[in-house]
A and B are shown apart, each in its own frame.
Chain A
Amino acid sequence: MTQDLLLRYLIWPLVKFLVAFIIVQVIVAAMNWVERRLLGLMQARLGPNRVGREFGIPWGLAQIVADPIKFILKEDIVPSSSEKVAYFLGPMLPLIPAFLVFCLIPYGPPPTFVVTHVNVGLLLILALTSTGVYGIILGGWASNNKYSLMGGLRSAAQMVSYEVPFGLSIVGVLMLCGSFDLVHIINYQADHIWNLFPQLIAAFIFLVAMNAENNRTPFDLPEAESELVAGYHTEYSAMKFAFFMLAEYSSMMVNCCLMVSLFFGGWTMAINGYGLTTGVLRGMGLLGGILGALIFITKVMVFMLMYIWFRATFPRFRFDQLMDLGWKWMIPLALANIAVTAIVVLLGDQFDFQGEVVLSIAGAAIIVFTLILLLRPRAKVTHARRVSEA
């Protein structure tokens, strides 16, 4: 009896977590190479394409292994005037939540591909990721360097500010699905429609807020090279610096998993109960489970690539612009989204219609309107006219 419980609640979850963790970390390590190659492609240059050519490894793929080896072998310099405890805690603290969160994410149809089934899973993920800011703020402060401190303070302000729209954008999804449980939310989307359509504005806010949460371009002010050298990790070298990078990419991965689970149907590929729902995948046995996990990973990778695409595309915001965007645009927009969703859901309960349908039509209308605005033929503005206008 005790052995059964131990196996069910301790051994199996640990094994599953280990497998998921290793796969995710391999992807994270590979992301470094993918990012540099893709940035090269977008900027019409080569990127790292040499390492491993002697051993017949194509496209510079050995860079993935070469980078960690370089980080481990480099000299680890500790500034003499740093605050030692906080300096060492800085790179380690963000790693713990960033790794822990991966045991709460459902990768495929339950029960095989879900590590732990927690009924407040989503809330717990938010809580854990919100503690990731400590590493940055502590590292910035402990380095005893003005640039580092500025980077740390900026990052603290930015992450605390953008946690509000980040959390608020999820509320609409919670109201539609009625649960904190990610498995339930994903099944609900398979039975109805991807939450992207009824919660279009929430998905947009989530996308922006998750970029800001991870300090990625266009919100990478904590480490703005042109003003702060390297921000909070200016004084970190070797493996400690790599820890910061590892935590950043891990939490990017977490946010992409959340985005996919909340708005893009997770491991399912179904609409209104037709297609690859959890039931269908379960009927296919282990093969279906692997198929579900592959669908999930593919969707996640699309968003990981989107991060890189953003980095290649957008210029950096100024800090006051960033704060204005967060507090004056994102939060009111998220609150309005909550109010509208609540009203529609309540009316739907009262007059017996499906709230998702109404919200989806509204979402589709927004998409069409945006496309019309973007694609409408515009009069050519000549250079001379622009000058005269200014």
Chain B
Amino acid sequence: MSPALLVFALVGTVAVAASILVVAMRNPVHSALFLLLTFLCVAVLFVMKDAEFVGAVQVLVYAGGIMVLFLFVVMLINVRHLPDERVLSNFWKGGFAVGLAVFILFFTLVRPGVYHDPVSSDKALRSTYTYRHRKVKQPDGTVVRKLIRRGKVVGNSEAVGMALYTDYLVPFEVASLFLLVAMIGAIVIGKRELSAIEEENVPAYMLERVETEHAVKGGMGA
């Protein structure tokens, strides 16, 4: 068994086991920790596939940013002990169906050769491509202008950067726009003024606290 396969088997097993434990754990904080372990294992798998940029970004963004916010929310709502009776939620059949569908989708559609040229060598993930119009002589003697793609082996970070800002510029920018809209939406929902009925239901101590804060801030500004 080659060392690479050994590492893959080890890390892959841990990743799958940890992702099962994410849904199996009763304490949400423990679930979050296993999700963190899954992210780290997936990052290792990325590095093993010669995609070290994606691996590092996986740790930086998911482990360093998003999981922290997850933990933050879990701690703020402070759900320590969930009721013990149920093992599966009411929606387990639907959830299982969706999971199966996504699995089949990934298994059948997202493969080399479906969306792009089959990966011919292990250099593919660290190559940038330049396109150029060239005059090509056809077999029958006519000269045709053709788009020629030329690969150049660089690091994985350069390859990802070139791909994101040339071939996939529009999807990339659209995705970032979506994120921006979601962020603004969250702020709008979180920051909106309360209606009269809602304001009646706010506990008195919270209103008092807001007023004191305003008073303190006003005092400092003057």
Residues of chain A whose beta carbon lies under 8 Å from any beta carbon of chain B: 83, 85-86, 89, 118-120, 123-124, 126-128, 130-131, 133-134, 137-138, 141, 149, 152-153, 156-157, 159-160, 163, 167, 180
Contact = CB atoms under 8 A, between A and B. Distances in A.
B52 A128 contact: no
B8 interface: no
Interface stretch (B61-69, B108-116, B197-205): B61-69
B64 A133 contact: yes
23 contacts: A85-B30, A86-B33, A119-B157, A123-B60, A126-B56, A126-B64, A127-B57, A127-B59, A127-B64, A128-B59, A130-B65, A131-B64, A137-B68, A137-B75, A138-B29, A141-B29, A153-B76, A156-B68, A156-B69, A159-B68, A160-B65, A160-B68, A180-B155
Given A130-B65, A137-B72, 8 more contacts: A119-B155, A130-B60, A133-B68, A137-B71, A138-B71, A141-B75, A156-B68, A160-B68
Interface in B139-171: 155-157
Nearest to B40: A131
A149 B75 contact: yes
A130 B29 CA distance: 19
B65 A163 contact: yes
A128 B80 CA distance: 29
B63 A130 contact: yes
A130 B72 contact: no
A152 B60 contact: no
Nearest to A144: B80
A118 B72 CA distance: 33
A156 B72 CA distance: 7
Contacts, number: 79
Given A130-B64, A141-B29, A123 B53 contact: yes
B36 interface: yes
Interface of B: 27, 29-30, 33, 36, 43, 52-53, 56-57, 59-60, 63-65, 68-69, 71-72, 75-76, 80, 155-157
The CB with the most chain A CB atoms within 10 A, among B29, B59, B64, B69, is that of: B64
Contacts of B53: 120, 123
Contacts of B76: 153
Nearest to A142: B29
Nearest to B29: A86
B68 A127 contact: no
A130 B59 contact: yes
Contacts of A89: 33
Contacts of B64: 126-127, 130-131, 133, 163
Given A149-B75, A153-B76, A123 B65 contact: no
The CB with the most chain B CB atoms within 10 A, among A85, A119, A127, is that of: A127
Contacts of A130: 59-60, 63-65
A89 B37 CA distance: 13
Nearest to A122: B56
A131 B63 CA distance: 6
Nearest to A141: B75
A123 B75 contact: no
Nearest to B76: A153
Nearest to A181: B155
Contact of A119 (B52, B65, B80): B52
Contact of B60 (A127, A149, A153, A157): A127
Contacts of B65: 130, 160, 163
A157 B63 contact: no
B29 A124 contact: no
Contacts of A126: 56, 60, 64
A133 B59 CA distance: 13
B57 A123 contact: yes
Contact of B156 (A120, A128, A141, A152): A120
A247 B40 CA distance: 20
A180 B157 CA distance: 8
B52 A120 contact: yes
Contact of B63 (A118, A127, A137): A127
Nearest to B54: A120
B85 to A, nearest CB: 22
Contacts of A149: 75
Contacts of B156: 120
Nearest to A160: B68
Given A119-B52, A123-B57, A153 B75 contact: yes
What are the 4 tightest A-B residue pairs by CB atom distance, in nearest-first order? Answer: A130-B64, A127-B59, A127-B60, A123-B56
The CB with the most chain B CB atoms within 10 A, among A83, A118, A120, A133, is that of: A120
Nearest to B67: A134
Contacts of B71: 134, 137-138, 141, 156
